[in-house]
């Protein structure tokens, strides 16, 4: 099983570069979630994100998380600033493996090919996340936030999808990943299907992947009609909240307005879910954990050991009490 650790740069009190109505921390989190979603269309791969929301994590802790997990590859996603234009990537400027160098060549080629970015080249630097990680690692700089041409691209959902696709194409080739459902029936590594953005003229409802399955289940179970695009965004999060509100009303007579907004009333209405629980609320917990980058294993509505481990991991990453029990505070941060 190949383990890919995805690190959206900055976060929380550290916005990164800011210009043209964009904050680096927001754009790189969006790109990283798209990378995560696309990688999950391959078999034999596990992913983990250093952060899944607007949280500050120190550079040393990002590297420690990847090292402790035993990641096979570390990818740190950033946006540049300083008056330039285009894409560049970095590996550590000390002793690195030949795999690190060849992986950088693949990443540089695939991202530039997918995006059409001006190629600023393959570079080396003494960045902490590259120096402190134990596995091949790379830091990508995906355009300049203070360049109006690059910034306009970064405001476009379909372009962000291309940025993510370039990263995933490279990782698939690095590790010989196989598509879960290749169209030609061959076992050779192939590029992932692009997740269709919501504003596309193509119907996204044939998308595959775990998030797409979650979206279909939500539509069927709660008689909704959200886009099935295998991307976790505000629409899917809001629908999961609607599902939670519906279940709290059905099972516990909470009298909530089913509006998809996790406000104080919904927080107070939440029940405590722990190992051994079964049902739709557990399913919603598993679904949001997966969408936020902490996989609970199979999303089956059964709170087993893997789900408890995922809850504990999420709690640890978000400075919550690490007890493996999902209560109102854990649900609040999950839906933040």
* Catalytic residue ranges: 141
State both tokens at 67. Answer: 């090292």
Q: Which two tokens stand for residue 132?
A: 């402190």
Angle at 13 between CA 8 and CA 15, to 5 degrees: 50
Asked whether the beta carbons of 157 and 124 are under 8 A apart, the reply is no
Distance CA 110, CA 104 (A): 10
Instruction: Report the C-alpha gap between 80 and 35 in whole angstroms.
Output: 19
* Positions of E strands within 130-176: 137-144
What are the φ and ψ backbone dihedral angles of 171, each rounded to 5 degrees? -65, -40
Q: Which residues pair with 45 in a beta bridge?
A: 2
The answer to whether 10 and 28 are in contact (CB under 8 A) is yes
């Amino acid at each position: 099983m190949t383990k890919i650790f995805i690190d959206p740069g900055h976060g929380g009190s550290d916005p990164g570069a800011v210009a043209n109505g964009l904050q680096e921390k927001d754009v790189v989190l969006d790109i990283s979630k798209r990378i995560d979603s696309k990688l999950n269309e391959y078999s034999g791969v596990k992913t983990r994100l250093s952060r899944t929301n607007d949280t500050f994590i120190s550079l040393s802790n990002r590297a420690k998380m990847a090292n402790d997990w035993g990641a096979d590859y570390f990818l740190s996603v950033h946006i540049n600033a300083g008056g330039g234009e285009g894409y560049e990537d970095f590996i550590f400027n000390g002793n690195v493996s030949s795999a690190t160098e060849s992986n950088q060549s693949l990443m540089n080629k695939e991202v530039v090919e997918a995006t059409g970015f001006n190629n600023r080249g393959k570079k080396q630097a003494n960045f902490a996340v590259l120096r402190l990680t134990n596995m091949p690692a790379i830091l990508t700089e995906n355009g300049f936030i203070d360049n109006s041409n690059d910034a306009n691209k970064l405001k476009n959902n379909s372009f962000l999808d291309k940025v993510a696709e370039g990263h995933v194409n490279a990782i698939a080739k690095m590790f010989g990943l196989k598509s879960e459902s290749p169209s030609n029936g061959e076992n050779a590594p192939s590029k992932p299907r692009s997740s269709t953005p919501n504003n596309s003229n193509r119907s996204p409802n044939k998308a595959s992947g775990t998030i797409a399955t979650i979206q279909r289940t939500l539509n069927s179970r709660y008689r909704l009609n959200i886009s099935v695009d295998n991307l976790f965004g505000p629409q899917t999060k809001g629908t999961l909240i609607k599902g939670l509100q519906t279940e709290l009303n059905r099972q516990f007579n909470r009298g909530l307005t089913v509006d998809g907004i996790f406000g104080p009333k919904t927080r107070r209405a939440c029940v405590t879910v722990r190992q051994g629980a079964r049902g739709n609320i557990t399913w919603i917990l598993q679904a949001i954990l997966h969408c936020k980058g902490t996989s609970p294993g199979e999303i089956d509505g059964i709170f087993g050991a893997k789900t408890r481990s995922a809850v504990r991991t999420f709690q640890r990453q978000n400075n919550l009490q690490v007890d493996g029990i999902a209560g109102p505070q854990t649900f609040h941060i999950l839906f933040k």
